[in-house]
Amino acid sequence: MQTIREANQLPSALVALRAGGRSLALVPTMGALHAGHLALVEQAKRAAQRVAATIFINPLQFGANEDLGRYPRQERADAAMLEQAGCDLLWIPPPEAVYPPGFATRVSVAGPSERWEGEARPGHFDGVATVVAKLLCAVRPEVALFGEKDFQQLAVIRRMTLDLQLGVEIIGVPIVRDADGLALSSRNAYLSNDQRERALALPGALKEAAGMIQSGAAVGEAIEQAKARLGEAGFERIDYVALVDAQSLEPLDRPAGAMRLIAAAAIGGTRLIDNLAVEMDAQS
């Protein structure tokens, strides 16, 4: 695996990767890699002939009181994991290469960014859309892969890529979970053992709510029960629990079409997000 850090090294490295007309997939990350990220690389290897990854902790998507300063950094271990997974190129740009002096452009995506994470973390999706647009324009892959754990982010990136006609296929990769059901996340490292155990209420509450909805219970009732379970488990803040349309992210008060239950809540000061597809049988 070739590792580069300077923007002026990137064009020649990409030319070499694409020699012979080979296709390229991109896996953008913020580092602190885990099995969920490696699942993106595995899917990327099936989607294209060469795989590039990026590690860039994007300051634009962190709010003033968020965890930019303590976000996990393990660059050497991350690079080793990517190389073992079969990644061909790793680009680790410095902040000034992504946001040079005088940088004054922001990409803002209306629609799917406006609720949920958009309300809880103002400006977050502007930062996400801006950095992803820059990475896609710099690398010009045929496909780019993102995890479904950040389901709203995936919807925002798909909308942005389509609207800007970037010509990149965006592939969502299913959530990877630990054996106990907790979605893998770099922020899980912040949890104490006790908090980690109580955090299992999050996927558990979503699973129970999905079962209630599938059994005919009112959506509002299922959501209130999910919130109650999170409160009982010790989550000190619940930003949202909602049933939404899987494309528009608009809330649903009754089952309709492709749906997701989405949730965000904080325990021990660590904010966790999760989501679950809700499928109704034809009879329902």
- 235 contacts 266 by C-beta, under 8 angstroms: yes
Q: Which residue has the tokens 């990026």?
A: 54
DSSP state at residue 188: G
224-250 core/surface letters (b: 16 or more CB in 10 A; e: else): ebbbebbeebebeebbbbbbbbbeebe
> 66-75: which pairs have CB atoms within 8 A and are 24 or more residues apart?
66/121, 67/187, 67/190, 71/30, 71/32, 71/186, 72/31, 72/32, 72/186, 72/189, 73/31, 73/32, 74/31, 74/32, 74/33, 75/31
Active site residue: 37, 158, 227, 271, which one? 37
Q: For the chain, where are the E strands, in sequence order? A: 2-4, 24-29, 50-55, 89-91, 143-147, 169-173, 237-245, 259-267, 270-278
- The CA distance from 227 to 245, in Å, is 20
User: E strand or H helix at 12, and its extent?
Assistant: helix 10-17
Q: What angle do CA 34, 96, 87 make, to 5 degrees?
A: 35
Task: Identify whether 37 is a catalytic site residue.
Answer: yes
Q: What is the number of alpha carbons within 13 Å of residue 185 lying toward its C-beta?
A: 19
- The shares of helix, strand and coil residues in the chain, as percent rounded to the nearest 5, are 40, 20, 40
Catalytic residues: 37
